[in-house]
Amino acid sequence: MKYLSISFFFLFLFFSAQAQKQKVIFDCDLGGDIDDAFAVALLLCSQDDIEIIGFCMDHGNTPGRAKVAAKMLYVTGFEHIPIFVGRHTPTVVGTDSDLEGASIQFMWAEDFDLLKPQKKPAVDFIIEQLNQNPGEIILFTVGPVDNIADVVDKDPEALKKAKQVISMFGSIKVGYGGGAISPEWNVAGSIEAAQKFMRSGANITLAPLDITDHVILTDNYLNAVTMRNTPLTDALSALYALWYQHADWAIQPKMFDGVAVGMLLWPEMFETSRAYVYVDDLGYTRIDASKAPNCTIGMKIDTDAFIQKMSRKLIEQNFHR
């Protein structure tokens, strides 16, 4: 009887720990800029604290993005995490339907078919989970917000049931390269969707260019990741190599989307403020000081601490199938 009681005690501790994990859904445009792959990797390395209930692919060639996600999850042994596909949409530069330009990363997974995405559309999955788990899920959006706007159109109350929506989104006081404010890519990629998102009434936290554009994974960290030689770091290295050959706009990877994940994992690294933010017709994120705040904005980040912690997570994992 004594040993039975001890067994029940440890089972209680196990299920209590599982229940305390933060549920997250990650909506991304994996296969474009390289930061999406690093953000996915950071989430996979953080499952002591979070429970990933689904990856959703948005914007452009979403089936192609899903294949990249499927291969990443399969080679690292996380094929139990479901992948959901959003609708195929146009992009700023065209249709994003082939393996050229930014989408060259699709080549890494073009022949991969050992893991398939779910048949349920990403929008239906997000709505279902938010309605079934009100106030419990943190939803990340780190690409243009086509899926999120579709959620708002289909069920206007669902997004309000997210515990928090953390978005790599916007340019508040700083633009690309540290210059004047810019129409940030995730906004400019689908302006009407971005406008719907900011009017949604959800509990939104923004990770804008102000805290993301200067967060760079430099060569010393990249070399350490590459030399680690686990399935995860091998996947990152392959995707980075493909991205690098076609990244005319940058030669060093900026961790835009990884910073958004960091706002959940390490909130002590950030300074935030509250404001009312709206999106104008040119894709600028503007503040209206006359209105009550509708979001929290990341304004400052401890860049060095973030890069060190993120790199350590990537290097210290030992994922294998």
CB-count exposure of residue 220 (10 Å: 0-12, 13-18, 19+):
exposed
* pLDDT at residue 252 in the model: 80
- Domain residue ranges in the chain: 22-316
* pLDDT at residue 16 in the model: 46
From the list 163, 197, 214, 158, the residue with the least C-alpha distance to 285 is 197
pTM for the model? 0.92
* pLDDT at residue 317 in the model: 96
The token duo for 237 is 């290295």
Q: How many CA atoms lie within 13 A of 135 on its CB side?
A: 0
* pLDDT at residue 304 in the model: 97
Alpha-helix runs per DSSP H in 202-230: 209-212, 219-228
Q: Which residues of the chain have pLDDT under 70?
A: 1-19, 91-103, 246-250
From the list 148, 113, 126, the residue with the least C-alpha distance to 55 is 126
* pLDDT at residue 294 in the model: 98
250-268 residue pLDDT tens: 578 999 999 999 999 999 9
* pLDDT at residue 102 in the model: 47
> Is CATH 2.30.29.30 what the domain over 22-316 is classified as, yes or no?
no
